[in-house]
Each structure stands twice: as C-alpha cells, then as structure tokens.
Structure 1
C-alpha cells in the first residue's frame, strides 16, 4: 500500500510540474512573442504543452535521468575514450590542447599592450 502511495505521489508531482512549466511557457510566449513579431499570435495551454514536447524532442532527446551520464559519474564516456588512445595520441592531444591555450594567452597579452 505504501508503494502505491509513493507512485501516486510521484505521478501527481510529475503532472503538476509539467502543468506548471506549461503555464509558465504559455505566459512568457503570450507576453513576448506577439509583441516582438508582427503577425504572431498567442497560444493556449495545450499548445504550450506541445511546445515543451517539441523542445524536448529537438534539444533534449529522450535520454532521461537514468542514462549513463548520472549513473557513471558524469564524464565516464570521456574517460573510456581517453583510455582507448595510444600514448602518442594522448601526447598529441595534450600538446594541441595546451598549445592552443598558450597561443591564446600570448595573443591576449600582446593585444593588451603588455609584453
């Protein structure tokens, strides 16, 4: 019984969060877009929900929070990639990375009249 209550509570929180975020999107859209763009019109609540879904598809993907990023401590995939590099590739990468930074710092000092 306690498990069902937790699931129900979670569902209510998710639906409430989506509704609140959709309301904020709708209010911001209706405040900004018609004023900024000639011919733009206001949107209703369901269109705001659709806009959120569209933005999630275009910019967020469908990974969710249970993907490898959180489970493996953030930069796990970068560590795996680094481990696959040969020592020569690692040195070349580090030289290129730090070489660009050194060049950028030299240009910054030169442009500020110091040196």
Structure 2
C-alpha cells in the first residue's frame, strides 16, 4: 500500500495534470490531492468533508459568509456541502487537500 508522497512527486503530478489539481492517494473514502488554483478558483461544493493545508503562498479563503486570510502552514476545514473558494491569492498558492467521509467524491 502506498503511504508516502514527496512534494517533488506531487508537483510533478500537478504539472502533468490537465486540471489545477492532481489526485495523489486514495484509500477507502479518503483522497489526498495537491491543488494549485489558477487565476480563478471556481470550486463547487463537495459531498465529502475537506481539509486544506496551505503549503505555500497565501490569499483569502471564503466559506459561506466567512472570510479569512490564509498563509503557509494554515489549516482549513470545510464541511461537506459548504460553498467555498480562494480569492485574491498569490500565484504560487499551493495546498494539500484531503477529502474524507461519505464516498462519492465531488458534486457534478
């Protein structure tokens, strides 16, 4: 079972991806992702709970009616179904994302 992903490997997978994220690890209902939003973060709510860990960069994070400034090392929790996105972020914003809970991934 895979249990270790280096940042170098994660960045390589992100560069190869056609999206602004790459799935790095899956186990049961959990997925580990690297996410580097482009100029606009147009996420839709997800059906799983989600954790963000800011690896580099910063900006603002909006969840429902709350706005916080985020930077390297910050932890964010987003409950399933919550509207959320990053805005006014630096071009180097990079995040680990962990989805878990109810299986099924994102809303279409």
TM-score by length of 2: 0.21
Compare the two structures and name the one with the higher helix fraction.
1
Compare the two structures and name the one with the higher strand fraction.
2
Larger Rg: 1
